[in-house]
Structure formats: C-alpha cells, structure tokens
Amino acid sequence: MTALLEVRDLWVSARKDDGSDQPIVKGVSFEVKPSEVVALIGESGSGKTTIALSALAFTKPGLEFTGGEVTLQGTDVLTMPRQEQRKLRGRRVAYLAQSAAATFNPALKIGEQVTESSVLHGILSQEEADRRAESLYRALELPDPERLGRRYPHQVSGGQLQRLMAAMALCGKPNLLVLDEPTTALDVTTQIEVLKAIKEVIREEGSAAIYVTHDLAVVAQIADHIVVLYNGAIQEQGPADQIINRPTHPYTRRLMAAVRPPPAAGEDAETDEPGQQRPPALEAKSISAGYRIASSGKPLALVLRDVNVAVKRGQVVGMIGESGCGKSTLARVFAGLLPAMGGEIALDGQALAPSLKDRSRDELRKVQIIFQMADTALNPRQRVGDIVGRPAQFYLGLKGEAKRKRVAELLQMVELPAAFAYRYPQELSGGQKQRVNLARALAADPDVLLCDEVTSALDTIVGANVIELLKSLRRDLNVSFVFISHDLSTVASFADEIVVLYAGRVVEQGPVNQVLSPPYHPYTRLLITSVPELRVGWLEDSMTTREAAAGIARAVEISAIGCPFSRRCPLSIEGTCDSELPPIRTPSPGHQIACHRSLGEI
C-alpha cells in the first residue's frame, strides 16, 4: 500500500535574533498510510507539533523549513506555490488544535466556522455544508444539532467545543487529519467522550490521522503506529502494540515510567498517629460560597455548599472533581480571595476573617497559593529574584544581603540554579516557571500551600518532576498542602487524604487508600474508571463495560436539592436521590461517603 503522506528527512529551524539558525526538527522521516492513525509522542520542545504542521506546509512564526520533503499523495507540499498550499489546507489536510476555546473565533457563529473551509474550497455548497455539519454534530453526540450552528462559541462547553472542532476538521472530508493534543485540556470523563467520538468518526470517514500528544495512555487507545520524538529527532517508531508492550529505546521506557500508574490504594499513610490532638492547620467548617454577588449581598450562583474539610499539620489533602465542581473556588475561599458566604475558615484552630483584607499580615503569610498558569502568575517585567524576594521582604522583613541569600536558598530548594535570580520569566520553560511560583510561595515561610492544578499545564515528565519536588519539600519543611487536581493519579501518588467534590459538595473524603478502594461513592468510581490505562483496547472495554456510560457526557450541574450527582448516577433512586440530601456513611473512621445507597450496594 502506498503511503498517503511521506515525510522524508525533514529539517525545521528557528531563526535566532543574531541571524543564525537553530534546528528544531532534525532529519525526521515517517509515513502515514491511508486510514491509519500515526501518533507523534514526546515532551514539549520535542518538535512534535512542528512536524505535524509540516503536513499543512505551515510553520509557526519564526520557524522555517530548511530541508527534506513532505509528500502528500505524490506531491511535495513544502515547495508548492502559496496558492496551492492554501487550497490544500482544510480540504486535503485538516487541523484540530489543542485548545478549542482559543481556536474558535469568538465573534463568529459556530456553524459558519465549521462549514467555512468546505464552502470556500468549493467542495460543498453552503446548504450541503450545513447539512453535513448537522450530521457530524449528531455523529459526535452533540446536543441540539439542528440549532447548534447558530450559537456562538462561548455558549457551549469546553468538551463540546473540542468535538465541534472535530466537526470543523471533518466537514470538508479531508484525506488526512492532524490532531494536536485534542484531549489534553479536558477532564478525564470528557476526555473519554471526545476520544471515543474522534476515534469513531475517523473510522467511519476512513481518513488517516496524525495524532500529536504527550500522553502514552491516550495514544494506546487511538494509534496504529507510534513515533517517539525527543529534541527534534525520532528515538523509536513502530506499530502501537510493539512500542507500548515492548519498547526498546531507553527514552520510550522513561516516558512509560512517567505515566502515572492507574490510581490504586497507595502505600500506607505513615504519619497520622493518634495522640496528635493539635487542631488542624487549616479547616473549612460548613463553608458555602458563590460568585456574582447581587446587591442584596447574596451570591446569585452558589458554588460551594456546606463543605467541611480539615487539613492536618504536615499532611497533603488532595482535592479532585471535574471542572466546575468548585475545587478552585474552595482554594480561593481558603486564601481569602473569595470571601465565604457562610461557615468558617480556621487556621490553627483560630477563626480567620473571610476576606483577605481583614486578615493580619501573619495570617496572610501562613496561607500561600500557587496557580495553574505558571505563565500568567509571574510578572513578565520583574526578575525572578524580585518575584521571589518580595514576599521574603514583605512578610519576614529581609533586606539587602539577607534577602539575596534567602532567594538563593529558595531557588536551590526548588532545584533551580541561583543565577536564575537575574532572569526574566519569559526566559524560563513552563516547568521552571512553576518552580519559581513555588519558590515565591515558600518565601513567605507558609504553614499551608494551596496548589491549584499546578502540574496540569505541564508535560508528563516535567509534571512528574514537580510532584517529586513537592514530595521532598513536604518531608523537609513540614508544610501542609491542599493539592487540587482533576488528575486522579497525580493526587493518588501525593496526597494522604482525598476529598472528592461534586457540584460544590463533598461526596466522599478520607485517607487515600480507603477512598481509592471499595466501597466507592458512585462519582468516585466514575472518576477512577475514566483514567485511561496504558493498554491497547482499554477505550473499547471501558465503553462497553461501563455501567455509568449514560452519565459520563453530562456537564456538572449545581442543584440545591437532593444529591448533586443523582442525575448522572447509575445507582440513583428515583424519588429519593433527587429530592433528599444523602446521609453520610462512614465505612471506617475518617472515611465518609455521602450516598443514599447502603455501603453494601456501593
């Protein structure tokens, strides 16, 4: 069978300010056969996106093709005239980007964006394109397909947008799809849905695909052939089954090792001996909070309801749940960024003022927060030394030489060279930026660190390294952590206790090994079974065996009555779950499950 796309000895370089070229992609060759899915896998900086974009004869600004050929059905796309390249894009090769939210034009209706390409290229008339779009919406299991096209991007959810982008790419019936991390930014439960939809549509349409990702477990579900990249060069390539089950290259093995093991009961929690009757480091007592405060002082959208969480000294409390469950809101309530409407926050047993403004400087010092977006949390006009030194001066009064020494110490703590103090944030990589954020938080010498999705925006290996760092800091500094993540495996590997939030309520909490072993709250079970496993065929198995299949696709809805999960729950009891608050069951001391079903049933 002849190849659909053949990449031969591809070189791409970045032009540096001094005029010299720095190669980003170094002599890469691979091919894509018709209706085959080829995965490009590697960390960020491995050149995987750059290689994938070469199929569209496109480079990001600042890069240029410096050698090799990319042959699509017999013609080299790199040397084509501009007009021909434009006609190729969207018609023969279509692109799906990582962040659908940023990739949809906010000013145009969805339907226009989905059909634009095929109408412009003259493949379909506007009417035909609209009909095709509608049938794709149906195939991708999107709600309200008849009217979806007339809505604007901000009116649909993130997971829906991601599927809409698949519709956009498929509308012109391309021969080749280029998928750039299409599920990375999604919740596990949404990821399954999108993966399944994409996989089915690719199979039905018979188009080939290049799938770019850093996640091996995802690749295992979708790829026929895998190309492993590191630093712009191919390390290893072969059939999916071979790469996943019998990797030969050491780098591939390292990638496999960095894949978080599927969540399972962790090692026994070592600490937490009885007799430690000190008050928790940080405690939320019946907290309720919401946004969009009306003039009457009451929030219009209540996000958290009656949340009780205690963070013991030196312990890590992991907080999980899909987006929209109120995890970040709780962190903001702890930090005082969002004053709670009801309930109380206690630090060391002492009540804390709900709002930041009313807390003393020492109280502020003790609770520090680290945000998900390492980028936007750092002031681009300040040097790392100033960013880290500022809290040391503000909270601890360090000046001059003492401050400089402290900054060096902190940078060493987060495993960065002391010379980084003189750099600006944009000179650092994503992982390094997050380390600077961590150093900034540690500079205040806090009792509690609130980590809000701190590794979610990072690559597998980089993220795993940051977690290792957090673990060692925890041993050395006796700091308590509130660790928020939608990634169950990361939480399982780091936390002592887990709090499962759903729609602003705690549905289950307790020590890690108890939460992650039966009896489960039905929502916890859904989360656990949604984490992709590193084996071929897992996606199909999970779709057929999943008792909760009906419940996955739904968005998180916040409701005031009944169990918040009742509408997605496979075990829901009509008339009870949707109208009465569930009782709290305690299978063992410290382990709580809020469910109407008895422990035996779940």
Q: Which residues bind another protein (CB under 8 A)?
A: 53, 56, 58, 60, 86-91, 94-95, 97, 99, 102-108, 116-117, 120-121, 151-152, 154-155, 168
Measured at the alpha carbon of residue 442, what is the angle toward residues 438 and 445, in degrees to the nearest 5?
A: 165
Tell the smallest beta-carbon distance from residue 178 to another protein (Å).
8
Strands (E), 330-403: 342-347, 350-352, 367-370
- Residue 310, strand partner residues: 283
Strands (E), 365-490: 367-370, 448-452, 480-484
Contact, 94 vs 117, CB < 8 A?
Answer: yes
Give the separation between CA 5 and CA 175, rounded to whole angstroms.
10
- Name which of 58 and 395 has its Cβ closer to another protein: 58
Local structure of residue 296 (DSSP, 8 states): T
Asked if residue 467 lies in contact with residue 293, where contact means CB atoms within 8 angstroms, the answer is: no
We find the least distance from the C-beta atom of residue 461 to another protein, in angstroms, to be: 25
Choose between 380 and 397: whose C-beta lies nearer to another protein: 380
Cβ contacts of 217 within 8 Å, gap of 6 or more? 259, 531, 532, 533, 534, 538
Whose Cβ is closer to another protein: residue 47's or residue 247's?
A: 47
Backbone angles phi, psi at 237, to 5 degrees: -145, 155
Q: Which is nearer to another protein, 94 or 594 (CB)?
A: 94
Of 301 and 599, which has the nearer Cβ to another protein? Answer: 301
CB of 119 to another protein, least distance (A): 11
One-character DSSP codes across 77-129: STTS-HHHHHHHBTTTEEEE-S-HHHHS-TTS-HHHHHHHHHHHTTSS-HHHH
Question: Contact 479/413 with Cβ under 8 angstroms?
Answer: no
φ/ψ (deg, to 5) at 15: -85, 125
Residue 254 CB coordination number (10 Å): 13
Closest separation in Å from C-beta 102 to another protein: 4
CA dist 172 → 72, 144, 166, 566, 581 (Å): 17, 22, 11, 40, 49
Task: For another protein, give the closer residue by CB, 281 or 302.
Answer: 302
For another protein, give the closer residue by CB, 108 or 599. 108
Least distance in angstroms from the C-beta of 133 to another protein: 14
Nearer of residues 86 and 546 to another protein, judged by Cβ:
86
**Shortest separation between residue 333's beta carbon and another protein, angstroms:** 24
Smallest separation, CB 152 to another protein (Å): 5
For another protein, the closer CB: 1 or 107: 107
Q: Which is nearer to another protein, 95 or 420 (CB)?
A: 95
CB of 117 to another protein, least distance (A): 4
Strand partners for 40: 212, 227
d(CA 328, CA 332): 6
Closest distance to another protein from the beta carbon of 84 (Å): 10
Nearest distance, CB of residue 155 and another protein, angstroms: 6
Query: Is the CB of residue 240 less than 8 Å from the CB of residue 39?
Result: yes
